[in-house]
Chains A and B, each alone.
Chain A
Amino acid sequence: MTAESHFLAFDPAQDFKLLFLAFVLPLVGYVIQISVGKRLPRQGDWLLTSGLFATASITVLMFAKSLWAAYHGLEFRHHSGDEAGLWFHWFYSSDELANGVANVSAAIFYDPLGAAMLMVVGVVSFCVHLFSIGYMHGTPRYHIFFANISLFTFAMLGLVLSDNLLFLFIFWELMGLMSYLLIGHFSHDPSSGYFHKWATKACKKAFLTTRVGDTCLLVGMVIFFWKFETFRFTELWRLSIEEIARHQSMHPGEYPLWMTVGGLFIFGGTIGKSAQFPLHIWLPDAMAGPTPVSAMIHAATMVAAGVFLLGRCYPMFTPDVLDVIAAVGTITAIFAATIGTTAYDLKAVLAWSTISQLGFMVAAIGLGGVVAGLFHMVTHAFFKACLFLSAGSVIHGCHHEQDMRNMGGVRKHMPITFACMLASTIAIAGIPFFSGFYSKDMIILRAWENILGGKFTGASFFAAVGLPLAAACTAFYMFRMIFMTFSDSYRPGTVESNFAHHAGGHDDHGHDEHGHAAHGHDHHGHDDHGHAGHGHADHGHAHHEHGHAAPAHAHAASAHGHEAHGHDAHGHDSHGEHATPHESPLPMVVALCILAFLGVFGGHFWLADPLHSLKFWEHAHTWFETSVSFQSLYGAQIGDQLAAAVAVDEHAAHLAHIVALSVSLTVASLGILVAWLIYGRGWERSQRVAGQITHSIHALYEVVKGKYFVDEALGTAIVVDMKRKDEPRYEPDASVIGASMHVANLLGWIDRNVVDATVNLVGRIGMSLGKGSATFDRVVIDGAVNGVGLFTQTFGSVVRLFQSGRVQQYATFAVFGGLALAAWLILL
């Protein structure tokens, strides 16, 4: 069979249509769901999930094609406009201007990077959809939730497939909007049992914070467009390389300043979207959204988009920009990992872990290890999605509880969830033969190669020391989480949870049935009304049914479709404090298992030379390194230059391999060992030991637990007031207000200490000068002071007249202002 005719060979005529189909299916699903979703049976969840299944299948097939091409050494970079004539012309005025500023067109661009990302998005989104069927069951606005995550997926698919920066930005913004809608999913109806102010504020915070980064990205885009007059990635790469070479030939050792500035602005977009320091503040609060949304944001979409952008724009970055990227990534990795060790909220641990892992990816790209960074993004997407969904499953099973101190012993009650979570935790901690090990090791390897290969920069050194530190923290807090949650025995109500009220209020869904079940209520009556298809709701715990009738009001509420406040409220009130946890319904478990499988084997999947995959690490590595490289990502010509820029000699590379391998094994086992020593040997003992440790480093612990007070510094903290838990104190748009307040405070300080001092000095001089003439003194100084007061008063009262709120008066000002401007322009 020849390479061209093989069924895994890429066929532009057909495959672009398939890709387009995969991309557009979620959108179609969204439109259907928004318009008629509420009237469909089961509110249309099956429709979107099956649509996403189709999308996931296509993306997996396409990914297989890219692997096949790589295996056979074929170049795999496809552009639908060039190869199949599939263009979307936007602002397309004429053919004469085909390459000019006036024309903007888009097409599908499909390369190994896009293939991997697309596969991740498709599979993870499908799993999240599947999981949501169980997790969101019975919540208000169920159909809207499915519509929104579908559109979220659509935006991410579009971002991955677009061939130019402009369309990437459009989908990027769409994703920002969807994250806002989804984090605040329950913030629309204050009367709902799931409503909580925290979510309302967190979604605003996420939206506004990422908006800062988006603005940076826009500025960066415009800078590059201004110089290169194109948005297409392939063009941008080529022109950037040429521009750098041209500049180097004139000023050896220097790089174009404008490219550095533009690159930094583009990286600003990543800082916002991928939650890098100091704009990471939105991500921990974003866990206020429903757990499936957190899984989406943390694994497949949002944060991955930032790293993906770095991968797409890598050839456009000058070494100066790369150093900044590496430094910021490393700072983020250490910073977030240390905070993760102090968190008690199950989801908060995972949120900080995501930020830390994103720091790894960003640092890797900054160190020149694009492949390593993107590989880590892919493996991370799987195990982090699995971790989040497992966490959702645990929270679901433990009746609204998110505080790990109130869990414990869940392993016995939720064995499948435990297995999935443990597998993913091992993967993230970096134990060999699990996916996370390979990718994380590649990143540390990259840093050491830079140092040992003589490409020593401050950022490389920082990363080579800092990243293993962060990896040790990662292993520690992940296993701390596992021990606290799953080992020992179940201990509900150990501490009065900080999170129970607000987190439970907004985050846990589908608990109505479980609440009933725990109390021995039969809820068949409930299912008969509009939930007929939800057999799985009973599936997991049919043994709880004792034959009691469902409460009448819950019955009536569910009889009227999904206006479900009645039974939600009941579910919330009646769940038992001491009811034992239970395994989650079938769709959730299936989704977990798929992701856990990928999380464990994702590394092999990428590294797989199937024959050697179980052999020692370096053997498996060769195929991967030869087939996924700069050349395959950016094309032979550009790739060669990029590879030459980071190449090191063989001896150094070999040394770096050994160092990196031993370092990453050491830190991972050290972290796990410490976690076991402190938390693995019984709950009371762990409390005692941890208490002693935190007491001995009290000040440091408080700083770390306070998240280094970055939120406070940026003025966006969501402070949970312990005395009044229902009213978290937080200014919603404080990122704007806070900033202006700081500016105002600064100006106030200047006013007090500089302006006032000057005024006083002037006054004193005037006094001493006026000593000879008291009359003159009184007249001039007093008159001036009174005059200032009078002027201020008069001016104020005049200005107040303008603020009348009357539209016509405003229009009059506008008209005469315009006329005055015209007169000025004409006369001068």
Chain B
Amino acid sequence: MELSDKLFYSLVGFGSLAALGACTFLGGGDGAAFALFAILVLGGSLVCIWERSVVRSAFCLIGTFGGTAGLFLLLGSDFLAMSQILIYVGGILALILFGVMLSPPDLTERKLPRVLSGLVAVGAGVAFVAAKVASTVNWVQAAELAEPEHATERIGVGFLAYDQYAIAFELAAIVLTVALVAAVYVARRRKIDLQDEGAQG
């Protein structure tokens, strides 16, 4: 571990603890759960950006995706949380890991000043916009929120009812099929390429 790594991880750790404490203080048990998942999300992506090794970065994304699923649970969308874990962690992450395996490792590509300046610049910009928005937008909240409704069945019905989301659902299915076929088509090795390699080899 280099000095910069030690500094970074301790900063992340302290920040997480502080956020956990603050949220627990503000929101009790709910706040603690929220803080836990938010830390997973943000910590995962921060470490993903920081890490030198692509493999580790990819694994850090588990935190990001899982944390997002947790936030969905807190928001009362259990079906969405399940889909998130299934598709992101089970599918997309696996795809990215395939990509990692098929490309050469390069531990020198991360440039520290670049990462730091990127974090500072984009972070500052977004923070500025967010702060301005947060201070100007009038956050009207419902006086009393309804209980979170676990609407798995309703989502299923929504998928199938023609007056709701059936067409969008079918379209999504078609898009997915086309995209997968296209992916296979784009990624295939052409005969000519193979011949070229054969000629060279």
A and B directly contacting (CB within 8 A): yes
A contact residues vs B (CB 8 Å cutoff): 94, 815-816, 819, 822-823, 826
Check A826–B125 contact: CB distance below 8 A. Answer: no
Instruction: Enumerate B109-130 residues with CB–CB distance to A below 8 Å.
Output: 121-122, 125-126, 128-129
B136 and chain A: residue at smallest CB distance? A826
Check B122–A822 contact: CB distance below 8 A. Answer: no
Residue from the list B122, B132, B163 in contact with A826, Cβ < 8 A? B132
What CA separation (Å) do A651 and B108 show in the bound complex?
96
Check A823–B122 contact: CB distance below 8 A. Answer: no
What CA separation (Å) do A189 and B121 show in the bound complex?
52
Residue from the list A94, A816, A822 in contact with B129, Cβ < 8 A? A822
Check B125–A819 contact: CB distance below 8 A. Answer: yes
In the complex, the 3 A-B pairs of residues with the closest C-beta atoms, listed nearest first: A819-B125, A826-B132, A822-B129
The reply to whether the CB of B199 lies closer than 8 angstroms to some CB of chain A is no
The reply to whether the CB of B133 lies closer than 8 angstroms to some CB of chain A is yes
Cβ of B122 to closest chain A Cβ, rounded Å: 7
B contact residues vs A (CB 8 Å cutoff): 121-122, 125-126, 128-129, 132-133, 136, 163
Cβ of A642 to closest chain B Cβ, rounded Å: 39
Check B125–A816 contact: CB distance below 8 A. Answer: yes
Known: A819-B125, A822-B129, A823-B128. 13 other contacts (CB 8 A): A94-B163, A815-B122, A815-B125, A816-B121, A816-B125, A819-B126, A819-B129, A823-B125, A823-B129, A826-B129, A826-B132, A826-B133, A826-B136
What CA separation (Å) do A597 and B129 show in the bound complex?
75
Question: Could you write out 16 A-B pairs with CB less than 8 Å apart?
Answer: A94-B163, A815-B122, A815-B125, A816-B121, A816-B125, A819-B125, A819-B126, A819-B129, A822-B129, A823-B125, A823-B128, A823-B129, A826-B129, A826-B132, A826-B133, A826-B136
Interfacial chain A residues near B133, Cβ < 8 Å? 826
Interfacial chain A residues near B125, Cβ < 8 Å? 815-816, 819, 823
A827 and chain B: residue at smallest CB distance? B132
B131 and chain A: residue at smallest CB distance? A826
What CA separation (Å) do A94 and B122 show in the bound complex?
42
Cβ of A790 to closest chain B Cβ, rounded Å: 31
Interfacial chain B residues near A815, Cβ < 8 Å? 122, 125
Chain B facing A: main interface SS: helix
Cβ of A807 to closest chain B Cβ, rounded Å: 15
Interfacial chain B residues near A819, Cβ < 8 Å? 125-126, 129
A90 and chain B: residue at smallest CB distance? B167
What CA separation (Å) do A558 and B22 show in the bound complex?
81
Interfacial chain A residues near B132, Cβ < 8 Å? 826
Cβ of A371 to closest chain B Cβ, rounded Å: 41
What CA separation (Å) do A726 and B131 show in the bound complex?
67
What CA separation (Å) do A561 and B163 show in the bound complex?
49
Cβ of A812 to closest chain B Cβ, rounded Å: 9
What CA separation (Å) do A341 and B122 show in the bound complex?
70
What CA separation (Å) do A826 and B136 show in the bound complex?
9
Cβ of B42 to closest chain A Cβ, rounded Å: 19
Interfacial chain B residues near A826, Cβ < 8 Å? 129, 132-133, 136
What CA separation (Å) do A826 and B134 show in the bound complex?
12
Cβ of B105 to closest chain A Cβ, rounded Å: 20
Interfacial chain B residues near A823, Cβ < 8 Å? 125, 128-129
A816 and chain B: residue at smallest CB distance? B125
What CA separation (Å) do A826 and B122 show in the bound complex?
17
Cβ of A690 to closest chain B Cβ, rounded Å: 55
B130 and chain A: residue at smallest CB distance? A822
B162 and chain A: residue at smallest CB distance? A89
Cβ of A529 to closest chain B Cβ, rounded Å: 25
Interfacial chain A residues near B136, Cβ < 8 Å? 826
A819 and chain B: residue at smallest CB distance? B125
B126 and chain A: residue at smallest CB distance? A819
B132 and chain A: residue at smallest CB distance? A826
A94 and chain B: residue at smallest CB distance? B163
What CA separation (Å) do A819 and B129 show in the bound complex?
8
Interfacial chain A residues near B128, Cβ < 8 Å? 823
B122 and chain A: residue at smallest CB distance? A815
Interfacial chain A residues near B121, Cβ < 8 Å? 816
What CA separation (Å) do A94 and B132 show in the bound complex?
38
What CA separation (Å) do A826 and B126 show in the bound complex?
13
Interfacial chain B residues near A816, Cβ < 8 Å? 121, 125
What CA separation (Å) do A18 and B155 show in the bound complex?
38
Interfacial chain A residues near B126, Cβ < 8 Å? 819
Give the most central of B122, B125, B136: most A CB within 10 Å. B125
Cβ of A31 to closest chain B Cβ, rounded Å: 14
Give the most central of A94, A816, A822, A823: most B CB within 10 Å. A822
Cβ of B70 to closest chain A Cβ, rounded Å: 28
Interfacial chain B residues near A822, Cβ < 8 Å? 129
Cβ of A369 to closest chain B Cβ, rounded Å: 44
What CA separation (Å) do A819 and B122 show in the bound complex?
9
A818 and chain B: residue at smallest CB distance? B125
B124 and chain A: residue at smallest CB distance? A819
What CA separation (Å) do A176 and B89 show in the bound complex?
45
A93 and chain B: residue at smallest CB distance? B163
What CA separation (Å) do A94 and B126 show in the bound complex?
38
Cβ of B167 to closest chain A Cβ, rounded Å: 9
Cβ of A828 to closest chain B Cβ, rounded Å: 12
What CA separation (Å) do A1 and B132 show in the bound complex?
81
What CA separation (Å) do A822 and B130 show in the bound complex?
10
What CA separation (Å) do A298 and B22 show in the bound complex?
77
What CA separation (Å) do A823 and B121 show in the bound complex?
14
What CA separation (Å) do A51 and B87 show in the bound complex?
44
B118 and chain A: residue at smallest CB distance? A812
What CA separation (Å) do A826 and B125 show in the bound complex?
13
B163 and chain A: residue at smallest CB distance? A94
A91 and chain B: residue at smallest CB distance? B167
What CA separation (Å) do A480 and B186 show in the bound complex?
55
